[in-house]
Chains A and B, each alone.
Chain A
Amino acid sequence: MLDFSTLLPALPVLWEGVQMTVLLSISALTLGLIIGTIMCTARLSNSTPLRILTKLYVSFFRGVPLLVQLMLSYYCLPLIGINTPALPTAIVCVGLCSSAYITEILRGGFQSLSPGQKESAIMVGLNRLQIVAFIELPQVIRLTIPALINEAIILVKASSLISVIGIVELTRVTQNLAASNFQPFEFYLTAALVYFILNSTISVLGLWVERRINSRSIV
């Protein structure tokens, strides 16, 4: 039979793990969105070197497993003299990996807009920055919100991988508790439930945002 009586004393530790997972996910997602937007702008620019560079960037971070990226940066970079403390390394790795996907999501959004919209904006005198900010981005966000929510959920789950570089987040805490109490079932079930709740929150939030944006205009 399952026995959840050991769960109560473990709650404070578990809570710390949840906080670490949330902190890491939010930081990495923010980083990913910022870098993804910059990369996407570079990817769609007229400069050939920039386009090639971003293509390489995307194919590297999309093509190498996050776990391997983490190992490389945490265990191998120090060997060549680059010091990589665990938490910043984790945030940067997850963030960069996610930015590669976000670049491509946003690119799809920008490219689905008709080029004519930009031409009419140019002809009334809007500058490049204004066109991106007021004409393109509002539409791109609306178009890509489902995909971006997807990406956020994948990121939260991927954050469990950073347990391998010793950061005590939800998965790592659960491992420790399960091992010391000899109760894997109870603790992993709890972890599963917590991840599920976190991600459901994101998806509900996403639907709410989507509805809010769509109610203000019709496409």
Chain B
Amino acid sequence: MNKQTQDSPIVEVQKMSKNFGTTQVLKNVDLKVQPSEVMCLIGPSGSGKSTLLRCIAFLEQYSSGNIYIEGEMLGYNDDTDIRKLTSTNELNHVRRNMGMVFQQFNLWPHMTALGNVTEALVRVKKLSRREADEKGHAILKKVGLAERALHYPAQLSGGQQQRVAIARSLAMEPSVMLFDEPTSALDPELVGEVLQVMKDLAKDGMTMIVVTHEMGFAAQVADTVVFLDQGEILMKGSPKEIFQGEKPPRLEQFLKNYMDRNAFWE
């Protein structure tokens, strides 16, 4: 896909719904993410924001509607009457330019930081070990971990582990990165270093979809903020519209709770 103009979104979600058994966790979600856009998904826990992100990664199957990644249908063959899952190969093909960072880092504990970053370069991109190591070192340097390349995950702090996870994702040169509450498992002291790496990415023009509880990050970095409640998009807009403008009572309440929780001085 090289016809990416402002009109062809990298990720497009159309009338997407998701059921777990009989409960509907996502209802008629519509989203468009343009190249270089940073979109933050906010909302109370259980609102479906993580599920939405996992559907966009097809780690969860969505029940109805469509998701397109760079114009290609994700997960299902849509040309037949009855919807069928695509083969794993086709799915991986559509997902090839998508990176994901998880709340629990999900590093592979038996490999060094460098090993985590280079594994897919060797196995998927078929680089030689030397080329992969070179690239791995460069990317680890970019996230500020040049000195930690040969450390195992257990020897790193949470913030460092998450930065390795970001580096692992970056190594595959994705055109869009998904972040699933990337700082929620971190000590408050370590949140800053991860957010800084994400801010740098955004500045470099990376397309990002970020599920987060960090309202500050959303306000400073996001182009679009999406507020989800009970599986529905209640409001979508610029940070200014979301945080300062007219808003539905549910969002008002959500932000008030957030402020109350984080206030420690009158």
The A contact surface, by secondary structure, is helix
Residue of B nearest to A116 (CB): B106
Of A114, A116, A119, A123, most buried by chain B (CB within 10 Å of CB) is A123
User: What 20 additional pairs, Cβ within 8 angstroms, besides A119-B59, A119-B100, A219-B152?
Assistant: A116-B102, A117-B106, A117-B108, A120-B108, A120-B165, A122-B59, A123-B59, A123-B99, A124-B124, A125-B172, A127-B88, A127-B92, A128-B88, A134-B119, A135-B108, A139-B110, A217-B110, A217-B112, A219-B110, A219-B154
Interface string of A114-156 (1 = CB under 8 A from B): 1011011111111110100011001100100000000000000
Say yes or no: A120 contacts B123, CB within 8 Å. no
Q: Is A1's CB within 8 Å of the partner chain B?
A: no
The number of residues on chain B lying at the interface, defined by a beta carbon within 8 Å of a beta carbon of chain A, is: 30
Question: CA of A126 to CA of B171 in the docked complex: distance in angstroms?
Answer: 14
B102 contact from A120, A218, A219, Cβ within 8 A: A120
Say yes or no: B119 contacts A114, CB within 8 Å. no
The B contact surface, by secondary structure, is loop
Say yes or no: A124 contacts B109, CB within 8 Å. no
Q: Tally inter-chain residue pairs, CB-CB below 8 A.
A: 71
Question: CA of A116 to CA of B110 in the docked complex: distance in angstroms?
Answer: 15
A119 contact from B88, B106, B171, Cβ within 8 A: B106
- How far in angstroms is the closest Cβ of chain A from B180? 10
Say yes or no: B120 contacts A125, CB within 8 Å. yes
Of A121, A135, A217, most buried by chain B (CB within 10 Å of CB) is A217
Q: Is B163's CB within 8 Å of the partner chain A?
A: no
Say yes or no: B110 contacts A142, CB within 8 Å. yes
Which residues in chain B, 19-48, are within 8 Å of chain A measured between CB atoms? none
Interface string of B92-107 (1 = CB under 8 A from A): 1001101110101011
**Residues in chain B near residue A122, CB distance under 8 A:** 59
B107 contact from A120, A127, A130, A138, Cβ within 8 A: A120
Q: Footprint of A on B, CB under 8 Å?
A: 57, 59, 88, 92, 95-96, 98-100, 102, 104, 106-112, 119-120, 123-124, 152, 154-155, 165, 168-169, 171-172
**Residues in chain B near residue A128, CB distance under 8 A:** 88
Residue of B nearest to A124 (CB): B120
Question: CA of A219 to CA of B109 in the docked complex: distance in angstroms?
Answer: 6
Question: CA of A193 to CA of B72 in the docked complex: distance in angstroms?
Answer: 69
Residue of A nearest to B115 (CB): A217
Say yes or no: B92 contacts A120, CB within 8 Å. no
* Known contacts A120-B107, A139-B109, A217-B111, A125 near B124 by CB under 8 Å: yes
Top 3 nearest A-B pairs by Cβ distance? A124-B120, A116-B106, A120-B106
- How far in angstroms is the closest Cβ of chain A from B158? 14
Say yes or no: B57 contacts A123, CB within 8 Å. yes
**Residues in chain A near residue B119, CB distance under 8 A:** 124, 126, 134-135
Question: CA of A127 to CA of B102 in the docked complex: distance in angstroms?
Answer: 19
Say yes or no: B59 contacts A126, CB within 8 Å. no
Question: CA of A127 to CA of B106 in the docked complex: distance in angstroms?
Answer: 17
Say yes or no: B110 contacts A119, CB within 8 Å. no
- How far in angstroms is the closest Cβ of chain A from B197? 17
Say yes or no: B172 contacts A124, CB within 8 Å. yes
Question: CA of A119 to CA of B123 in the docked complex: distance in angstroms?
Answer: 16
Say yes or no: A138 contacts B104, CB within 8 Å. no
* Known contacts A218-B152, A218-B154, A218-B155, A123 near B100 by CB under 8 Å: yes
**Residues in chain A near residue B171, CB distance under 8 A:** 124
